[in-house]
Amino acid sequence: MVLGIVAVLLFYACANVVAPTGGPRDTEPPAVVRSTPPNHSANFDGDAIRIFFDEFVELRNIRQQLLISPPLEEAPEVRIRGRSVIVEIEEDLRSNTTYNFFFGDAIRDITEGNPIPNFQFVVSTGNYVDSLALSGRVKNAFNLRPEEGIYVMLYENIHDSVPYLERPVYLAKTDKEGRFTISNMSEGDYLMFALDDNNNNFLYDLPDERIGFLDSLVRPKHIPGLTEGVEDDTLSIPDPGPKYTLYLFREVDTVQRVTSSSLTKKGLITIAFRVPFDSAHVRDLRDPPLVSSWHIPEFSQGKDTLKLWFAETGRDSLFLEVLDGDLILDTIRRSTTPRRTRETDATEAPPVLNISPDFRRASAVPFYQPLTLKSEHPVEAIDTSKIQLFIHDSIPVWSNFRFKDHVRRSITMEPALEEGTSYLLEAMPGAFTDIFGLTNDTLASRFKTTLLENYGNLIVDLALPPNGLQYILQLLDRNLEVMREQIVLEGGSYTFYHLRAGQYRVRLIEDHQQSGQWDPGNYLRKVQPEPVHMLPDTIQIRENWDVQMPWIISPRSP
């Protein structure tokens, strides 16, 4: 019996064969052994470049990674042969020109995928290799975050339309920190342009492409030793010449039109616009026309959608002219009655008006804000005798409700709530009647208000330059979404009250247009996006605590 158990254990011990570990993992990238022609060589007149490595390599995303300065009309064919990479050039190169083949991280070893970082190969068709360079960063103009994967392009022809019509003579692509370096340039003055090139054709030809530009021309700097003693696999530039910052933005598309219109449901027509409107409205084209009060207009927050609420018009269809200001955009014809089916007729419940408090039931209601009710439809009348507010569920208190906006879908209560108090709000059927004659069901909502000590305050001590500008001071959440803002005309202390515990950022916009919002730039008019300043530190707000932040604003350097 014992011998049998030993035999079974020996069998399983022999069956569980463990593979050898194979030693430490290879983390070294491939190294260049030689190349034809040699890297950074002059008088190149061939049609192919071949680079040999010390191990087998592969190409990863070569079409996206490979950049050539100046760009070629036809993309070269890049392929692997043994331990080498071959670049076959399909066109005649310019005379007396230095070409930079930037491979990025495309060349990797075939076993572990270790890339050669920022690998570039340089040849010249002239007697020498150009040794001028410049560098810089590309930032988002609105939030100042670095922009990755943006082309920075230089042009010899200095005219405003060149980014629309011509490919650049030099280019680079930004890294994760938004940095770029353009090296092996020839002497001269260049126009610098940044492009988020959505169709990869090196032309600014799409309205949704983001751009950045400088107000003046740039001149590269000579870098001693740029072409002497350079390793074949990487190019290291201790001081890559002048440094520039470009701010990336999307130009405002001003071509306005109606993109869609529909009868969303009974009594509601929704009209969508291509870009935000100034003052959208409609005009009845039938004779005799409807009175101007036949509908209630409602604008979306982004001012790109117009809703038309209407009750009985006496017509089975509407023929409307849509305008933005005085500009006629379109004419639309819409039925006033939604399509019905047997299924909807069978399942449709008796219609009622949905009214609900504008707060999340799981959270306490801010005591410093008026209690607000939201209605599904515009409200025609409020019967306050059917609405009662109780403290501690049983003690009635006086309250009154009024419309907050012209659409009459937002209803606020007065007076203000008290802090740290339990409430019960009751609205009996018929308390609210909408423009369609619908009334609400019974509403009963219990809630509790917050305490003053549940919040912190942020005090920003602003020191502004004496330039007479108008500014917009914005409080942002950790995702850089605007929570609150205020107009600032002079330096001083500005306070954001009643902040929940959490992390915040602060942005200051130089409102040159005095529009009350951030305005992007325009390339052809040579208008830069309005400068933005970000308080460098993330601010931690705690309950029952004030945070005071000094902030000195200096004119932003280019």
The whole-number pLDDT of residue 235 equals 46
Q: Which has the higher per-residue pLDDT, 75 or 163?
A: 163
Q: Which of 222, 218, 315 is nearest to 263 (CA)?
A: 315
pLDDT in tens, 514-549: 999 999 999 999 999 999 999 998 999 999 999 999
The per-residue pLDDT for 64 is 79
Q: What percent of the chain has pLDDT above 90?
A: 69
Tens-place pLDDT, residues 399-436: 888 898 899 999 998 888 999 999 999 999 999 999 99
Query: What is the pLDDT confidence band of residue 312, given thresholds at 50, 70 and 90?
Result: confident
- The pTM score is 0.81
Q: Which residue has the higher pLDDT, 152 or 20?
A: 152
Cβ atoms of residues 297 and 308 within 8 Å:
yes
| CA–CA distance, 508 with 530 (Å, rounded to integer) | 10
The number of angstroms, rounded, from the C-alpha of 69 to the middle of its chain's C-alpha atoms is: 29
Which pLDDT score is estimated for 69? Answer: 85
Write down the mean pLDDT value for the chain.
88
What is the reported pLDDT for 526? 94
Q: What is the 3-state secondary structure (H, E, C) of 66-131?
A: CEEECCCCCCCEEEEECCEEEEECCCCCCCCCEEEEEEECCEEECCCCCECCCEEEEEECCCCCCC
pLDDT at position 27: 82
Cα–Cα distance for residue pair 261/279, rounded to 1 Å? 17
- What are the phi and psi torsion angles at 234 (to 5°)? -140, 160
Task: List, in order of start, the domains of the chain with CATH numbers.
Answer: 38-248 (2.60.40.1220), 258-335 (2.60.40), 355-452 (2.60.40.3710), 455-552 (2.60.40.1120)
Measured CA to CA, the distance from residue 162 to residue 325 in angstroms comes to 35
Scanning the structure block, which residue is given the tokens 């606020």? 412
Please tell me the number of Cα atoms within 13 Å of 154 on its side-chain side: 30
Q: Of 89-103, 300-314, 343-357, 359-373, where does mean pLDDT reach its minimum?
A: 343-357
Res. 11 pLDDT band, cuts 50 70 90: very low
Residue 494 to residue 488: CA distance in whole angstroms: 9
194-231 pLDDT per residue, tens: 999 998 888 999 989 999 999 999 999 986 655 443 44
Q: What is the pLDDT of residues 240-267, one digit of tens each?
A: 656 899 999 999 888 899 999 999 999 9
Distance CA 31, CA 52 (A): 9
Q: How far apart are CA 126 and CA 279, in angstroms?
A: 61
Q: CA 252 to CA 522: how far, in whole Å?
A: 8
- The pLDDT assigned to 299 comes to 96
Biggest CA–CA distance in the chain, Å, is 109
**Which residue do the tokens 């305005």 mark?**
519
Asked whether the beta carbons of 434 and 382 are under 8 A apart, the reply is no
